[in-house]
Structure formats: C-alpha cells, structure tokens
Amino acid sequence: MAETQADGDSTVDQLAETAAPDPESSYQPASWPAEPAPTGAIHHIELWVPDLDKAIVSWGWMLTALGYRMFQDWPGGRSWQSGHAYIVVEQSPARTASRHDRCRPGLNHLAFHVSSRDLVDQLAAEALLHGWKLMFADQHPFAGGPQHYAAYLENADGFEVELVAD
C-alpha cells in the first residue's frame, strides 16, 4: 500500500522533509512562478480556524504531504503555496464561531488531486496521525461513487478534505 524507499522512509515522509522548513534555520519560502497565472485561477483560499497551533499540525502536515511549501508565517496565521495558489490558516479575532460547520452555507470541503490510488491510501492512513479522521469509512474508498476513488477526511475543527486519485 505505502511506497517505502530502501531506507524505510515513505514517499509522504520524503515530501514532508523536502517541503517543510527547518524551524531552527531561516527557510526559503515558496516563490511565485515566473509566468503569470491565467485569469480565473485561484489566487488563495483563507480558512479561519479557532486554534492556530492545532490547525498548523493538521493543515501543515496535509498541505506539505500534498507538495505545498510554507509560504508565509505571522503571529495570527500561516500559509502554504503550490504554483500560483496558496492556502492560509488564520486565527482571526473577527471570527464568530468556534468550529467550522461544513453543512452550513459556505465552504463544504476542499478537494485535491492525488497522483495514484496507492498514494490516496497512504495519505489517508498517515493523516490519522496528524489530526484527521476518515469519513464514510464503511464506503471508503468509493464514497463518491464506484468510479471515484477518494479519501474523505475531517479534522478536529470540522474542515473536510477530499483526496482524489487521478
């Protein structure tokens, strides 16, 4: 199921090591691609979270495992970038709720491309160690239908991520 290299590190571990900054050194943040983004492309997505430290654990792991690189870091938030788009987690003092409810009007979930079914399985298994739980476990990995191989994950703050095998 999980791709493991000769030294025992998984593919996801290697992605995390190459994409996560070393907190003891000054990191080189992701940079903008040289070519301009096409009109209509996502520029950024900002998620307001009730607990930034908890969000950094779950979202930081997830986004790094998906190939994003840390982009910005400030006392109230952090962001990770892939290509022209970046995703922000922010603990804003202006938020009006203590938990995200994906069933209310607004954001239901974020869906990400994943290169293979094996990697979907590996990410779903490792996500459990980083604050995510598998949703629709009785229908996994075909909760979206027989032709749709995906893992649906939810973190402790109620945010849902869908990892879709290409």
Going along the chain from its start, the domains and CATH numbers come out as: 11-17+43-165 (3.10.180.10)
84 has a pLDDT exceeding 70: yes
Two tokens at 128?
Answer: 């459990």
Provide the greatest CA pair distance for the chain. 49
Confidence of residue 18 (pLDDT cuts 50, 70, 90): very low
Is 81 within 8 Å of 69 (Cβ atoms)?
yes
Confidence of residue 80 (pLDDT cuts 50, 70, 90): very high
Residue-wise pLDDT for 123-152, tens only, equals 999 999 999 999 999 999 999 999 999 999
The 3-state secondary structure of the chain reads: CCCECCCCCEHHHHHHHHHCCCCCCCCCCCCCCCCCCCCCCCCEEEEECCCHHHHHHHHHHHHHHCCCEEEEEECCEEEEEECCEEEEEECCCCCCCCCCCCCCCCCCEEEEEECCHHHHHHHHHHHHHHCEEECCHHHCCCCCCCCCCEEEEEECCCCEEEEEEC
Two tokens at 110?
Answer: 């974020």
Is 50 within 8 Å of 99 (Cβ atoms)?
yes
Quote the pTM value.
0.80
Instruction: Count CB-CB contacts under 10 A for residue 132.
Output: 25
